[in-house]
């Protein structure tokens, strides 16, 4: 851990692949040996602490956040001082051995609380973008990097996308009822200290990380966010919590750094507009953050999520302080909003 404190803000990488050989499916990337994944994570400097799978994908809780492996898609989210971008090259190489080629890359993150503690290539967004530009293959020719602002220079949303010319919008943009799907990433700081205490373990509780995690999931109401989800949870010692949820092919994930002074929690999921507002309200009630950002990404062109998000949390005392929208070449539309308790400014 950095001398300053634990960096809760995650770096997030989403890679999509394609392959023409039917023999590699239906498992695709899920055929990767566990040892190969461990080697990728070694480059990032984190480890697997727990894992679960269903018929659609595998979900791993990491020592620093989460990894999701679908047949043609990988999502890795890591916090602390991990070097997430160092996973790209080994992943491209392992996928190549399976007959899969990279078609899309998306990297996102908020603003670090302790930016000076980050190692290369995460020393600045400029360094990250240079590293990405140099690492990803040239067939991903539609590229864009953007820093989406808020009213405060310490809360920005950093986005880099790169896509090839033939596999645009790789993630299905609609659900089974033909509703537009979104990815929602919520970053919360200044958690309510009484609620944050629930993510500390009593000294020498004699429990495993899994059983202590299960208790936290129930005690905090996290299990009620989506009662249909299969949850894989883990409690760190003496504090900290991570969980992955699986509901069919939809994932959700929560990570909590409860320490006073740099408390942080994140929630991420996929869903339609109606699900999102409902879920967002439940999440805000669990953490009661002083400040919060919401980033929604959809692979269509319309993204009017921001009004629904604002209406969902205003009755809970959170006021929308800023709004920014940007479009990415063959990478969809991103909306970034910041919120704070009514008397605070973000």
Ligand X SMILES: C[S@+](CC[C@H](N)C(=O)[O-])C[C@H]1O[C@@H](n2cnc3c(N)ncnc32)[C@H](O)[C@@H]1O
Shortest gap between Cβ of 293 and ligand X (angstroms)? 14
Q: Pick the catalytic residue: 255, 263, 266, 340?
A: 255
Residue 263 annotated in active site:
no
Per CB under 6 A, the segment of 99-107, 201-209, 239-247, 317-325 that binds ligand X is 239-247
Cis peptide leading into 153, omega within 30 of 0? Answer: no
Contact present, 337 and 309 (Cβ < 8 Å): yes
Residues with Cβ < 8 Å from 91, sequence gap 6 or more?
15, 40, 74
Q: Pick the catalytic residue: 103, 104, 242, 295?
A: 242
Distance, CA of 97 to CA of 212 (rounded, Å) = 39
Concatenated DSSP letters of 104-154: EEEEEE---SSGGGPPTTSS-HHHHHHHHHHHS-TT--EEEEEEE--SSTT
Is 6 a binder of ligand X (CB under 6 A)?
yes
Which residue among 65, 108, 297, 340 contacts ligand X (CB under 6 A)? 65
Structure tokens at 144: 């864009």
Residue 79 annotated in active site:
yes
Annotated binding residue 268: no
Residue 269 annotated in active site:
no
Shortest gap between Cβ of 263 and ligand X (angstroms)? 8
Helix axes 273-287 and 305-313, enclosed angle (nearest 10): 30
Shortest gap between Cβ of 160 and ligand X (angstroms)? 20
Structure tokens at 71: 């047949």
Report which of 92, 29, 73 is spatially closest to residue 167, judged by C-alpha positions: 73
Is 68 a binder of ligand X (CB under 6 A)?
no
Is 13 exposed, middle or buried (CB count within 10 Å of its CB: 0-12, 13-18, 19+)? buried
Residue 65 annotated in active site:
yes
Q: Within positions 249 to 278, which residues make up the interface with ligand X, using CB under 6 A?
A: 255-259, 264, 266
Contact present, 295 and 185 (Cβ < 8 Å): yes
Which residue among 239, 277, 310, 325 contacts ligand X (CB under 6 A)? 239
Annotated binding residue 336: no
Range 59-81 burial, b when 16+ CB lie within 10 A, else e: bbbbbbbbbbbbbbbbbbbbbbb
Is 63 a binder of ligand X (CB under 6 A)?
yes
Structure tokens at 228: 């249909």
Per CB under 6 A, the segment of 6-14, 33-41, 120-128, 224-232 that binds ligand X is 6-14
Q: Pick the catalytic residue: 79, 105, 232, 320?
A: 79
Q: Within positions 79 to 118, which residues make up the interface with ligand X, using CB under 6 A?
A: 79
Is 236 a binder of ligand X (CB under 6 A)?
yes
Q: Which residue's CB is nearer to ligand X, number 125 or number 199?
A: 199
Is 8 a binder of ligand X (CB under 6 A)?
yes
Shortest gap between Cβ of 240 and ligand X (angstroms)? 2
Counted residue by residue, the chain has a size of 346
Distance, CA of 105 to CA of 132 (rounded, Å) = 9
Distance, CA of 102 to CA of 98 (rounded, Å) = 12
Per CB under 6 A, the segment of 63-71, 103-111, 147-155, 222-230 that binds ligand X is 63-71
Annotated binding residue 236: yes
Is 64 a binder of ligand X (CB under 6 A)?
yes
Shortest gap between Cβ of 6 and ligand X (angstroms)? 4
Residue carrying the six token digits 């809360």: 155
Q: Which residue's CB is nearer to ligand X, number 131 or number 262?
A: 262
Shortest gap between Cβ of 213 and ligand X (angstroms)? 11
Distance from the first to the final alpha carbon of the chain: 27
Q: Which residue's CB is nearer to ligand X, number 218 or number 237?
A: 237
Among all residues, which ones are annotated catalytic?
65, 79, 242, 255
Q: Using CB under 6 A as the criterion, which residues of the chain lie in contact with ligand X when the complex forms?
A: 6, 8, 10, 63-65, 79, 236, 239-240, 242, 255-259, 264, 266
- Binding-site residues for substrate sit at 6, 64, 236, 259
């Amino acid at each position: 851990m950095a001398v300053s404190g634990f960096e809760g803000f995650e770096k997030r990488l989403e890679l999509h692949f394609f392959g023409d050989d039917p023999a590699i499916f239906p498992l695709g990337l899920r055929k990767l040996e566990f040892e190969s994944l461990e080697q990728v994570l070694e480059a990032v400097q984190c480890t697997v602490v727990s894992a679960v799978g269903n018929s659609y994908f595998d979900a791993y809780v990491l020592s620093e956040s989460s990894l999701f492996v679908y047949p043609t898609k990988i999502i890795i989210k890591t916090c602390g001082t991990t070097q997430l971008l160092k996973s790209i090259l080994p992943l491209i190489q392992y996928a190549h051995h399976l007959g899969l080629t990279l078609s899309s890359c998306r990297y996102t993150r908020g603003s670090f609380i302790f930016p000076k503690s980050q190692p290369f290539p995460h020393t600045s967004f400029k360094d990250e973008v240079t590293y990405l530009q140099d690492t990803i293959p040239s067939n991903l020719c539609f590229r864009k990097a953007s820093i989406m602002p808020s009213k405060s220079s310490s809360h920005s949303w950093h986005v880099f996308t790169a896509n090839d010319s033939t596999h645009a919008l790789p993630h299905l943009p609609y659900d089974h009822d033909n509703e537009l799907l979104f990815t929602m990433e919520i970053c919360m700081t200044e958690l309510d200290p009484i609620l944050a205490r629930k993510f500390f373990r009593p000294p020498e509780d004699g429990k495993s990380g899994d059983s202590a995690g299960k208790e936290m999931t129930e005690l905090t109401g996290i299990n009620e966010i989506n009662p249909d989800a299969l949850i894989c949870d883990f409690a760190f010692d003496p504090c900290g919590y991570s969980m992955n949820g699986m509901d069919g092919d939809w994932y959700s994930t929560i990570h909590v750094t409860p320490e006073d002074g740099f408390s942080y929690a994140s929630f991420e999921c996929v869903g339609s507009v109606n699900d999102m507002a409902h879920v967002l309200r439940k999440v805000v009630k669990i953490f009661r953050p002083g400040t919060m950002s919401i980033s929604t990404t959809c692979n269509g062109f319309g993204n009017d999520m921001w009004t629904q998000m604002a209406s969902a949390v205003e009755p809970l005392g959170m006021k929308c302080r800023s709004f920014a929208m940007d479009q990415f070449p063959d990478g969809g539309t991103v909306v970034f909003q910041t919120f704070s308790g009514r008397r605070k400014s973000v």
